[in-house]
């Protein structure tokens, strides 16, 4: 197994799952955005995005799908015979489709490309993100984990979305319960191991040399 990653990017969901499970997975850390900074990246992943996960003929580019794939067969997965299976699938998809997507619009137009004059659109998508935290906040009001009464890949997928907001200046917009929950998630040894691993890895900017 090989995971291509950029520090702090959505691929952290996959790396966190690797570390929670203690899986043997090679890690390639690249500068962001690899589309512009890594020779050979578009050959490896024609989308140009991060992550890319490779195992034999399987090549996956969706961070939540990779986390789900790596969780399968362990307690990190919720199985179809469990009562919370539907919740599990829903939160996995909710993580990127509803909670990460609006943050990327904010990042692009408020933080990375202010010269376009679309900062207001970015700010409106930050508001959109904050409003849509309501579902996770309600679910965690009386729970430690999103589903099945244990830590699962759904917690990884959603916690990364909240973690991203702390990296882009939106942490003060998290409801107190979600800030508290995120602190417990990021205190996990698996998450800390993922952070240590991404920080320690050499940064590769030419894949043709590998
Ligand atoms: N839905 C995909 C989105 C992948 C994605 O857009 N990744 C971002 C980084 S988190 C990226 O590569 N952006 C840089 C670019 O598009 O050049 C996922 O969850 O992995």
In a domain, 19, yes or no: yes
CB 37 within 8 A of CB 30: yes
Q: Residue 48's Cα: distance from chain center in Å?
A: 17
In a domain, 125, yes or no: yes
SS3 for 24? coil
Model confidence pLDDT, tens digit, residues 98-147: 999 999 999 999 999 999 999 999 999 999 999 999 999 999 999 999 99
Whether 124 and 156 map to the same domain: the answer is: yes
CB atoms within 10 A of CB 69: 19
- Residue 209 has a pLDDT of 82
Residue to mutate, 4, 17, 35, 50, ligand 1, most ligand atoms under 8 Å from C-beta:
50
Whether 180 and 93 map to the same domain: the answer is: yes
* Residue 99: C-alpha distances to residues 58, 74, 77, 94 (Å): 27, 25, 21, 6
CATH number at residue 24: 3.40.30.10
Whether 46 and 112 map to the same domain: the answer is: no
Whether 89 and 168 map to the same domain: the answer is: yes
Whether 113 and 64 map to the same domain: the answer is: no
Whether 91 and 129 map to the same domain: the answer is: yes
| Exposure string for 140-151, b = 16+ CB within 10 A, e = fewer | beeeebbbbeeb
Residue to mutate, 5, 11, 29, 49, ligand 1, most ligand atoms under 8 Å from C-beta:
49
In a domain, 47, yes or no: yes
* Residue 108: C-alpha distances to residues 46, 121, 168 (Å): 21, 10, 11
Whether 168 and 103 map to the same domain: the answer is: yes
- Residue 109 has a pLDDT of 97
In a domain, 175, yes or no: yes
Whether 112 and 126 map to the same domain: the answer is: yes
- Residue 129 has a pLDDT of 98
Ligand 1 pocket, Cβ-based, cut-off 6 angstroms = 9-10, 33, 35, 48-51, 62-64, 96
Token reading at 72: 């399968």
Q: Residue 170's Cα: distance from chain center in Å?
A: 16
In a domain, 62, yes or no: yes
Ligand 1 geometric centre to CA of 38 (Å): 15
In a domain, 95, yes or no: yes
SS3 for 32? coil
In a domain, 80, yes or no: no
Nearest-CA residue for atom 2 of ligand 1: 62
Whether 100 and 160 map to the same domain: the answer is: yes
- Residue 210 has a pLDDT of 80
Atom of ligand 1 nearest to the CA of 34: 17
Atom of ligand 1 nearest to the CA of 164: 10
Ligand 1 geometric centre to CA of 48 (Å): 8
Whether 16 and 95 map to the same domain: the answer is: no
Ligand 1 geometric centre to CA of 81 (Å): 32
What is the number of domains present in the chain? 2
The ranges of the chain with pLDDT < 50 are none
Which residue in 142, 138, 197, 191 sits closest to 163, CA to CA? 191
Nearest-CA residue for atom 1 of ligand 1: 62
Beta strand residue intervals within the chain, DSSP E: 2-5, 26-29, 52-55, 58-60
Token reading at 19: 């570390």
pTM of the model: 0.98
Token reading at 12: 């952290």
Range of the domain at 130: 85-188
Residue to mutate, 3, 4, 10, ligand 1, most ligand atoms under 8 Å from C-beta:
10
Whether 100 and 175 map to the same domain: the answer is: yes
CATH number at residue 146: 1.20.1050.10
Whether 97 and 31 map to the same domain: the answer is: no
């Amino acid at each position: 197994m090989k995971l291509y990653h950029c520090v702090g990017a959505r691929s952290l969901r996959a790396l966190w799952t690797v570390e929670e499970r203690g899986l043997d997975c090679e890690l390639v850390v690249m500068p962001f955005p690899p589309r512009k900074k890594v020779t050979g990246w578009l050959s490896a992943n024609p989308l140009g995005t991060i992550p890319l996960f490779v195992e034999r003929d399987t090549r996956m580019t969706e961070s939540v799908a990779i986390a789900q794939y790596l969780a399968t067969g362990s307690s990190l997965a919720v199985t179809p015979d469990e009562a919370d299976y539907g919740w599990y699938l829903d939160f996995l998809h909710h993580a990127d489709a509803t909670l990460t997507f609006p943050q990327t619009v904010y990042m692009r137009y408020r933080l990375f490309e202010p010269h376009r004059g679309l900062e207001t659109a970015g700010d409106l998508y930050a508001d959109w993100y904050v409003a849509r935290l309501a579902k996770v906040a309600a679910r965690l009001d009386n729970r430690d984990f999103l589903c099945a009464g244990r830590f699962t890949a759904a917690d990884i997928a959603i916690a990364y979305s909240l973690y991203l907001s702390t990296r882009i200046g939106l942490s003060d917009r998290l409801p107190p319960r979600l800030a508290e929950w995120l602190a417990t998630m990021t205190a996990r040894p698996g998450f800390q191991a993922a952070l240590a691993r991404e920080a320690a890895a050499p940064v590769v900017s030419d894949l043709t040399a590998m």
